[in-house]
Amino acid sequence: MAKTCVPVCVRQPDEMRDAIAAAARAGDIVELRADCLIDPHAAVSFLHASARSIERPLIVTLRSPEQGGRAEIDDDARRRFWSSLKKLPANSFVDLEFDLVHEFSTAESPAELPVDWSRVICSHHDFTRVPDDLEKIFERMAATPAGIIKIAVQTGDALDCLPIFELLKRAQAKGRAMIAIGMGEAGVTTRILGPSRGSFLTYASLEEESGTAPGQLTAKDLRELYRIDHIDLDTEVFGIMGQPVGHSLSPRIHNAAFAAGGINAVYLPFEVRDALQFIRRVAHPKTRELDWKVGGLSVTAPHKSTVMQALDWIDPAATEIGAVNTIVVQGDQLLGYNTDAAGFIAPLRTIVGSLRGLRCAIMGAGGAARACSWALSEQGADVTILARELKRAQSLADRFGLKSRELSGAAHRDFDVIVNATPVGMRGQLENETPATAEQLYGVRLAYDLVYNPVETLFIREARAAGCDVLSGIEMLLAQAVEQFKLWTGRDSDLEVMRTAALRKLSG
C-alpha cells in the first residue's frame, strides 16, 4: 500500500494533540510542521511529554524560510531546535534541509539527532521552477548519510513531471529511498503515481484548505477518488489534457466508473501547455519517455484541434467537426474521436425524439458550438448559429451549410430548441449572467445549457420561468463520458455511478 503522510500545521501549542490525532486517522504517517507554530520550541515540549501517545509514525519538520517555512527562523534557532529535541515516538523521522544535513554530518562534533541517520529525510524545495541541475542536486544529497532523500519542485506543466519520475528511477538504481514531488496543479501526477514508482511516501492534506504545499490533494481523494492503494505498474493510465483542468469533473466520473467496473485503471488531470510535445513525450507509444501503460486521453480546451496533428488515425466525424476530444491508444498508434457530438445529441433525442426538421438555434460559435452544429445537421435539424459577432456566426454556419444571425436581445420564439454553447452562466465571474431571458425564451420548446457547473444556471431558471423544458450540461458531459469509456475499455459504464460522482462534487 502507498504510504500517505498528512502534515499538521497549527499555530497554537494546544491545537497539536487534536490535529495530530485527526491526521493519524486520515494518513499512515503524520508530519508535525514545527515552523507553523507561533513558538516552534513548543513542539519540543509537546513531543517530550507526549511521545508515547502518538500511534502513527511521525516526521518532525522545522522548515527554514528559504525552503518554504512559515516562521522567521534563523540558522542558529534551527540548530538549537534540533539540539534540544531528545525524544521522539518509535518509528519517527526528522526532516532536515540539505544545508543542515551537510553541516551535521561533516562537523567534528555533530549535533545529536533524536533519530539515527537512516531515519533522516534530507530535503530540498524549489517553489519557483524545476531546476536545470536537478540531477546534480540529487547526487549531492545522495552523498550524505541521510536515509531518505526528498526533492520537491514547482511545476507549471505536465511535462515538468518527467524529470521528477526520472529522479525516482535514478534513486531506485542507486538503492536510495526517495520522495519526489511536483508541486502545483501540474504536479498532481507525481503525487498520485509516485508511490507506485518508488516514492517512499506521498503527502496529502486533511482538508482542501489545509494543504501545506501547492497542489496537495486531500488524503480522502488520494484513497477514494484515485484509489492510490490499488495503483501499481500494471495500472492503465487515462486522463484529461487541457489548460486549465483543475476544475474538470472527468476524474470524478471516470475513476468512479473504473472502480465500479473493477478495472485496474486511473484517470488523472494533465495541465498541458504544448499539446504536441505532450503527445510526443508522454502519450505516444513510439516516443513517450515514461514506462507506463497509457490507455487513452480526454482532450479539452484549448487543444481539441491542435492534437489532430499528432494522431495516426482520426474518425471521419471528428475530421468533419475539426476537433478531437478523445484519444485511444491502440497498439503503437493513437486514434482520435469526437464524443462531444454524440454526447450532445443523446439526451436531446431522449426528450424530443426525432430532430429532423426541428428548428434549432445554437448560441455561440466556438468549439462546443461546432460539435453541436455538426451533430444537429447530421440529424436533419434546421440549424441557425447565433453569435454576438456576426462574422463568427457566418464562418461556422458556412462550414456546415447552416443559417446564421447576430445574437441580440430579440425573442427566440421562432425556434423549437435553443442551445447555450457559450461559457455564460459558468460558476465564477459569469455565474449571474444569462445569454437569454425568460421574455426572450417564451414559445421555445426546450432550452439546453451546455454549462454544467452550476447544474442549474440562470439560463435554466429563466427557461423554466418561460415554460420551456430544460436540459443541463451535466447530461451532455455524462453522455460523452459514456462514449469515451466504451472506446477505451470496450465495455459499457454504469451511468448512475458516473452521475452520482459528478453531482456529489458539484453539490459539495
Query: Which residues carry out catalysis?
Result: 304
Local structure of residue 218 (DSSP, 8 states): B
Cα(505)–Cα(216) distance, integer angstroms: 18
CB 216 within 8 A of CB 191: yes
- Rg, C-alpha atoms of the chain: 27
Nearest to 22 by CA among 37, 7, 35, 34: 7
Q: How far is CA 494 from the centre of its chain?
A: 22
Three-class secondary structure of residue 420 per DSSP? strand
Three-class secondary structure of residue 470 per DSSP? strand
CB 341 within 8 A of CB 374: yes
**Angle at the Cα of 487 from the Cα atoms of 482 and 296, rounded to 5 degrees:** 105
* H-helix or E-strand spanning residue 4: strand 4-8
CB 223 within 8 A of CB 230: no
Q: How far is CA 381 from the centre of its chain?
A: 37
CB 22 within 8 A of CB 56: no
CB 204 within 8 A of CB 25: no
Dump the DSSP string for 107-133: SSSPPPPSS-GGGEEEEEEESS---TT
| The three cell numbers locating residue 299 | 482532450
136 phi/psi in degrees, rounded to 5: -65, -40
Q: How far is CA 3 from the centre of its chain?
A: 20
Cα(55)–Cα(233) distance, integer angstroms: 31
CB 170 within 8 A of CB 206: no
Within 10 Å of residue 296's Cβ, how many Cβ atoms? 25
Nearest to 249 by CA among 507, 506, 508: 506
* H-helix or E-strand spanning residue 327: strand 326-330
Cα(283)–Cα(298) distance, integer angstroms: 12
Angle formed by the axes of helices 367-378 and 390-400, to 10°?
40
Cα(198)–Cα(167) distance, integer angstroms: 10
Q: How far is CA 490 from the centre of its chain?
A: 25
CB 278 within 8 A of CB 270: yes
